[in-house]
Amino acid sequence: MNQNIELLKADINDELEKVKKIHQEFQELKPKLQLNAEQINNFDKAVIGYYLHNFYNGCENIFKSIARFFENDLSVDTWHRDLLKRMKLTINGYRPAVVDEELYLLLDDFRGFRHKFRHCYSFELDWERMKIVANKFDTAWNQLQLQIKKFILELNKIADE
């Protein structure tokens, strides 16, 4: 089991590094968040949307690795929502929660945005609503890092048992 936990930790850390890069690159786009709907062009909306989309994809990749390791059971129709919900649950004697309620709610905004982004054209995106999610990026990233590190510490305890 220790080898499997080490593999899980390696998967998580690898994905976290990729998400870190997304966050770093997004910093160059932050000044555009000061623009109003008439000032932002569709290309810039698409680029910002793509980074928000990629951020949540990275989070979801981490969560999928954890779910495969511990649960391996998600319904087909609502697996995106179910996966995120499961990450806030503590399964006593089996797996600690990965995220707390506050981060769950933040990430649910990104999940919802990602769904919208994937199913519409960039010129159909509501800039004001998009900015609300984009302005949560730093907070979500900072909390994600802290909570994943805490989760990894818990994995170390499980490995030592």
- pTM of structure: 0.91
Task: Note whether 20 and 149 are within 8 A (CB).
Answer: no
Query: Per-domain residue ranges for the chain?
Result: 2-160
99 close to 87: Cβ distance less than 8 angstroms: yes
Q: Quickly name the fold that domain 2-160 has.
A: Four Helix Bundle (Hemerythrin (Met), subunit A) (1.20.120)
Tell me the pLDDT tens digit for each residue of 104-121: 999 999 999 999 999 998
The model's pLDDT over 17-67, given as tens digits with 9 standing for 90+, comes to 999 999 999 999 999 999 999 999 999 999 999 999 999 999 999 999 999
Tokens representing 109 are 């905004």
Percent of the chain with pLDDT over 90: 78
Main-chain dihedrals φ then ψ at residue 71, nearest 5 degrees: -115, -55
Residues in Cβ contact with 153 at an 8 Å cutoff, skipping those fewer than 6 apart: none
